[in-house]
Amino acid sequence: GQNIDQPTEMTATEGAIVQINCTYQTSGFNGLFWYQQHAGEAPTFLSYNVLDGLEEKGRFSSFLSRSKGYSYLLLKELQMKDSASYLCAVRDPGSGSSNTGKLIFGQGTTLQVKP
């Protein structure tokens, strides 16, 4: 089966650092994405990991361990505008001739940043 777990909600203080964890158990793996989604808006791409290790992009970093089925998104120097839902998504390459590469989303983590 396909299972992606994230905490439902997190709260952090402006200026602080927060880590959002994601664990996955999927039949296939061809990369892990993190998206940010503000209420009522479309998801926007944050990061992509396909190899083990840390990818850094400004205030945001993402880590992947394929052997542990684990990823995290690290947000530094939190700002009020970072209050949003953060979606972890695994790309399943599919099987046989289908090779669909569809994204399987976790339920999302709602982050609230407080002053």
Interface residues toward another protein, by CB under 8 A: 30-31, 33, 35, 40-45, 48, 50, 87, 89, 91, 93-94, 98-103, 105-108, 110
Q: Which is nearer to another protein, 13 or 44 (CB)?
A: 44
Q: Provide, rounded to whole angstroms, the least separation between the CB of residue 19 and another protein.
A: 20
Alpha-carbon gap, residue 13 to 104, rounded angstroms = 30
**What is the nearest approach in angstroms of another protein to the Cβ of residue 80?**
21
Rounded Cα distance between 107 and 109, Å, is 7
User: What six digits make up the tokens of 51?
Assistant: 């190899």
CB burial of residue 103 (10 Å; 0-12, 13-18, 19+): middle
Q: Residue 81 or 115: which CB sits closer to another protein?
A: 81
